[in-house]
């Protein structure tokens, strides 16, 4: 019995014993990670062995009672594999198509093709542009890809952790030291240069640790994806990823607020890489110019945070898979604010603080990541900088949304939202949609201020419309130390 077949049989056995369940719960019980379980659940769904509900996250159940995966299902699997290859070949030839165009070309119903495309997207094979609804093939899955299983001669790819307008992040294993790392691939621009410089100068236990970086002209992404990422602002084009917030990240790479490397030498690109990346006939004056998106990438190697994201932590408690423990909440938020205090002390602004960008190391310690929008607090003369409205709209401060001058206190506003999310259960997406505008306007749901009196006062100040009325990160940290016990091991674990 193959390993894949055994995993799928274990999934069926679990659902038979326990009834309907989510991928996360199944993964915790039978061993593989959630991503692997999801892949096999969709395989089982295509072979009509399991079904899923429309809830988010989906709840899975057995279609019918079966003792094992039957051999006669092999023909269905073969048929599915053939259909996937037909879609891959069509996208490879065309460069990108909408679902109805694929359905017409292949003579298949549109709903069948859409189901196939979303299944392929779950596996990282294709991606969908949220503005044009165009589907494109990820190059690492195409047959003539430079390398399907590795990022370079030094790494083996384990999984793609995320993808969006920012680029791709991979979980990789180093071939020589055997350790697991995260490698982020971005187009080499001035913005990428700023991100690396910020990571290199920040050395703190609550910030994702930077290892090294290197430029490369290797074409690990399709021409279509590269053109979408480089030629269109991300507030217009974003790629869908489950559980992620849309980030308003325009591609104005020469904005003054992106320059965090004043007085420091910029990343150099090797002559061969530059030549390979430069289109014939173009006179390139700046290797980091925003117009140079023709094939030079920057790969950023960082520590791998195997504890997941704060988004995962919040979801597990919203869906009652784990309890909210008040001391744990205060301890986590204390580590977040400690990391932000360090960023601000280094005269930087993160500008994209949200649960997706707050991770946990193997030891459970908070690690702040994704410095793709990092900016200097002032210009070289110490004067305010006119800034753009980059960030994630649902978490951005009012001044960051309105393109006004703003300083490091713009990071305090989203932290108020994050702290609230950690404390208060939000059961459904519709509840969140209704609650969020009120929360941004300092209006808490009924019962919050009574049950969390001290926290609500601090969060209220952090969510002040005017940045002048918000506390500095160091002030929030001092208040946490003064008003809340932070040692989880010495105190009774009160739940909320």
Looking at the annotation, which residues are catalytic?
352
- Note whether 347 and 261 are within 8 A (CB): no
Q: Which of 347, 439, 342 is nearest to 395 (CA)?
A: 439
Answer yes or no: is 331 a known binding residue. no
Cβ-Cβ contacts under 8 Å for 307 (sequence gap 6 or more) = 359, 360, 361, 362, 364
Q: Which of 188, 84, 183 is nearest to 135 (CA)?
A: 84
User: How far apart are alpha carbons 463 and 399 in whole angstroms?
Assistant: 12
Neighbouring CB atoms inside 10 A of 34's CB total 17
CA atoms lying within 13 Å on the CB side of residue 362: 4
CA atoms lying within 13 Å on the CB side of residue 303: 24
Neighbouring CB atoms inside 10 A of 451's CB total 11
- Note whether 149 and 137 are within 8 A (CB): no
Q: Which of 349, 363, 367 is nearest to 309 (CA)?
A: 367
Name the 3-class secondary structure at 362.
coil
Token look-up 């001058």 returns 405
Alpha helix positions (H), 3-141: 3-18, 23-30, 34-46, 74-94, 99-106, 110-122
User: How far apart are alpha carbons 336 and 206 in whole angstroms?
Assistant: 7
User: How far apart are alpha carbons 195 and 371 in whole angstroms?
Assistant: 5
User: How far apart are alpha carbons 495 and 98 in whole angstroms?
Assistant: 48
Cβ-Cβ contacts under 8 Å for 314 (sequence gap 6 or more) = 355, 421, 422
User: How far apart are alpha carbons 233 and 184 in whole angstroms?
Assistant: 20
- Note whether 476 and 458 are within 8 A (CB): yes
Neighbouring CB atoms inside 10 A of 415's CB total 24
> Looking at the chain, how many residues does it have?
496
Cβ-Cβ contacts under 8 Å for 128 (sequence gap 6 or more) = 117, 121, 134, 135, 239, 240
Cβ-Cβ contacts under 8 Å for 65 (sequence gap 6 or more) = 16
Residue 45 burial (CB < 10 Å; 0-12/13-18/19+)?
middle
According to DSSP, residue 401 is labeled: H
Query: Which residues are documented as binding site for ATP?
Result: 184
């Amino acid at each position: 019995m193959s390993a894949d077949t055994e995993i799928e049989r274990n999934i069926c056995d679990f659902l038979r014993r326990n009834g309907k369940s989510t991928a996360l719960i199944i993964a915790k019980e039978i061993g593989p990670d959630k991503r692997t379980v999801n892949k096999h659940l969709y395989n089982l769904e295509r072979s009509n062995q399991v079904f899923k509900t429309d809830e988010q996250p989906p709840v899975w159940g057995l279609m019918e009672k079966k003792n094992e995966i039957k051999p006669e299902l092999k023909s269905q699997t073969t048929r599915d594999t053939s259909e996937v290859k037909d879609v891959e070949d069509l996208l490879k030839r065309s460069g990108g198509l909408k679902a109805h165009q694929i359905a017409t070309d292949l003579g298949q119903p549109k709903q069948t093709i859409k189901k196939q495309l979303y299944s392929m997207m779950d596996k990282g094979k294709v991606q969908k542009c949220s503005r044009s609804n165009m589907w494109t093939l990820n190059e690492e899955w195409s047959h003539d890809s430079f390398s399907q299983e590795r990022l370079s001669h030094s790494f083996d790819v384990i999984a793609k952790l995320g993808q969006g307008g920012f680029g791709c992040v991979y979980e990789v294993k180093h071939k020589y030291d055997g350790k697991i790392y995260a490698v982020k691939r971005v187009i080499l621009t001035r913005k990428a240069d700023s991100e690396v410089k910020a990571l290199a100068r920040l050395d703190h236990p609550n910030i994702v640790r930077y290892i090294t970086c290197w430029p490369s002209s290797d074409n690990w992404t399709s021409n279509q994806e590269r053109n979408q990422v480089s030629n269109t602002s991300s507030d217009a084009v974003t790629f869908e990823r489950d559980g992620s917030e849309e980030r308003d990240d325009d591609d104005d790479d020469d904005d003054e607020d992106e320059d965090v490397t004043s007085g420091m030498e910029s990343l150099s690109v090797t002559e061969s890489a530059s030549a390979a990346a430069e289109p014939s006939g173009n006179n390139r004056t700046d290797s980091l110019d925003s117009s140079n998106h023709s094939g030079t990438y920057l790969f950023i190697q960082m520590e791998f945070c195997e504890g997941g994201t704060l988004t995962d932590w919040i979801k597990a408690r919203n869906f009652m898979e784990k309890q909210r423990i008040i001391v744990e909440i205060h301890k986590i938020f204390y580590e977040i604010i400690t990391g932000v205090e360090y960023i601000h002390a280094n005269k930087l602004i993160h500008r994209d603080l949200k649960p997706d960008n707050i991770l946990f190391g193997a030891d459970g310690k908070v690690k702040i990541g994704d410095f793709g929008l990092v900016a200097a607090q002032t210009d070289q003369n110490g004067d305010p900088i006119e800034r753009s409205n980059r960030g994630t709209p649902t978490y951005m401060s009012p001044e960051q949304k309105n393109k006004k001058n703003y300083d490091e206190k713009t990071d305090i506003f989203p932290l108020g939202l994050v702290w609230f999310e950690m404390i208060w259960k939000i059961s459904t997406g519709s509840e969140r949609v209704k609650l969020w505008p009120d929360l941004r306007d300092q209006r808490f749901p009924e019962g919050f201020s009574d049950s969390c009196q001290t926290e609500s006062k601090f969060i209220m100040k952090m969510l002040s419309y005017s940045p002048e009325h918000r506390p500095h990160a160091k002030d929030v940290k001092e208040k946490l130390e003064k008003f809340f016990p932070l040692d989880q091991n010495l105190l009774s674990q009160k739940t909320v």
